[in-house]
């Protein structure tokens, strides 16, 4: 029997002043429920797909979803790259990029969107929904893989990845270079602006969930937000960047009562003890927890 054809892929762009925001459109069924995928810090959309058909984005397209994978401003195929335009931060992603992408998909499909996030992407999306309650009307559900806001975990991996690399070494490099060239230093798959790095470090340090640019109080707004159904997925071998207990703290901080939590581990019946990255990229995920995700999305 011949293999099924791979989903189609093309690049779409949203113009916002002098920025071009890139969405990778992956689809076999343009009438399927739309999915927007948001990556984390020092990442781009490739955490969700490859051009050869691997990754969660491609898997969802094979299951009939209409998938849009974001590159946040300056990352991936969005232009200009961070090295050429360093004067933006995570507030721009919260107040501009995410609302523009949700509205673009709403106008294109006429349907509310499922949002799937990895790591810090889940914090940015939650911030956007808390800040702009009308956006929630255009969101069908959200799924967060390894999304935490503050890091309370105490273990050797946290000391290296968070305290040493993220809080100390990365700001030092950013002050010297003007931005964080994470790809060059092999600490991430994409770069980060100096100000965006500063803002994320500030939130990671147990400080209030408040915007460092204009003091908007996300924590207070979250308490009156009508959240979409939300699934938080943690990995048992993720000891620092999305520690299960830190994810649970973030769930409580949002006040989202329509949410639930899953821990991926062998003890819970999964194929392996996943970590922060391979819960999205390991080949076993296609037969392990990806089908459960499809079933959950279809019920929404």
CATH top-level class of 8-152+216-299: alpha beta
Per the CB < 8 A criterion, the answer to whether 70 and 38 are in contact is yes
Straight-line distance from the first to the last Cα atom of the chain, in angstroms, rounded to the nearest whole number: 33
Return the bridge partners of 141, or none.
114
Quick one: pLDDT at residue 30? Answer: 77
Quick one: pLDDT at residue 1? Answer: 38
H/E element, 128? helix 120-131
**The tokens 């300056």 sit on which residue?**
74
Query: What residue ranges do the domains of the chain occupy?
Result: 8-152+216-299
Full pLDDT tens readout for the chain, 300 residues: 346 688 999 999 999 988 999 999 999 987 899 999 999 999 999 999 999 999 999 999 999 999 999 999 999 999 999 999 999 999 999 999 999 999 999 999 999 999 999 999 999 999 999 999 999 999 999 999 999 999 999 999 999 999 999 999 999 999 999 999 999 999 999 999 999 999 999 999 999 999 999 999 999 999 999 999 999 999 999 999 999 999 999 999 999 999 999 999 999 999 999 999 999 999 999 999 999 999 999 998
Quick one: pLDDT at residue 224? Answer: 96
* Angstrom distances, CA of residue 218 to CA of 103, 130, 156, 213: 21, 6, 31, 12
Reference 128, options 14, 293, 254, 19; nearest CA is 254
Cis ω for the linkage preceding 84 (within 30 of 0): no
Quick one: pLDDT at residue 197? Answer: 97
What are the residues whose beta carbons fall under 8 Å from the beta carbon of 164, sequence distance 6 or more? none
* Angstrom distances, CA of residue 258 to CA of 31, 222, 225, 294: 27, 13, 11, 18
Q: Residue 252: exposed, middle, or buried by beta-carbon count in 10 A (0-12, 13-18, 19+)?
A: exposed
For Cα atoms 74, 76, 82, give the angle at the middle one, nearest 5 degrees. Answer: 25
Quick one: pLDDT at residue 29? Answer: 85
Torsion sign across C-alpha atoms 278, 283, 284, 285: positive
């Amino acid at each position: 029997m011949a293999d099924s054809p791979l989903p189609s892929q093309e690049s779409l762009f949203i113009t916002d002043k002098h920025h071009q925001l890139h969405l990778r459109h992956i689809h076999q069924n343009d009438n399927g429920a739309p999915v927007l995928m948001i990556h984390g810090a020092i990442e781009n959309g490739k955490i969700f797909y490859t051009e050869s058909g691997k990754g969660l984005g491609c898997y969802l397209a094979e299951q009939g979803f209409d998938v849009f994978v974001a590159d946040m401003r300056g990352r991936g195929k969005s232009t200009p790259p961070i090295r050429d335009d360093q004067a933006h931060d995570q507030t721009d992603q919260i107040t501009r990029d995410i609302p523009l992408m949700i509205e673009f998909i709403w106008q294109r499909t006429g349907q509310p969107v499922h949002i799937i996030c990895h790591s810090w992407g889940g914090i940015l999306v939650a911030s956007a929904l808390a800040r702009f309650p009308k956006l929630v009307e255009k969101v069908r559900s959200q799924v967060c893989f390894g999304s935490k806001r503050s890091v309370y975990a105490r273990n050797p991996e946290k000391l290296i990845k968070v305290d040493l690399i993220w809080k100390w070494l990365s700001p030092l490099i950013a002050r010297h270079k003007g931005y964080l060239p994470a790809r060059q230093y092999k600490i991430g798959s994409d770069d980060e602006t100096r100000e965006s790095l500063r803002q994320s470090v500030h939130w990671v340090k147990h400080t209030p969930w408040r915007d460092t640019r204009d003091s908007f109080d996300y924590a207070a707004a979250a308490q009156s937000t009508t959240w979409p159904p939300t699934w938080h997925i943690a990995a048992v071998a993720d000891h620092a960047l999305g520690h299960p207990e830190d994810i649970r703290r973030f769930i409580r901080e949002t006040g989202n009562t329509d949410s639930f939590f899953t821990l991926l581990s062998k003890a819970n019946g999964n194929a392996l003890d996943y970590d922060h990255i391979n819960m999205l990229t390991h080949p076993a995920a296609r037969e392990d927890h990806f089908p459960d995700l499809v079933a959950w999305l279809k019920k929404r």
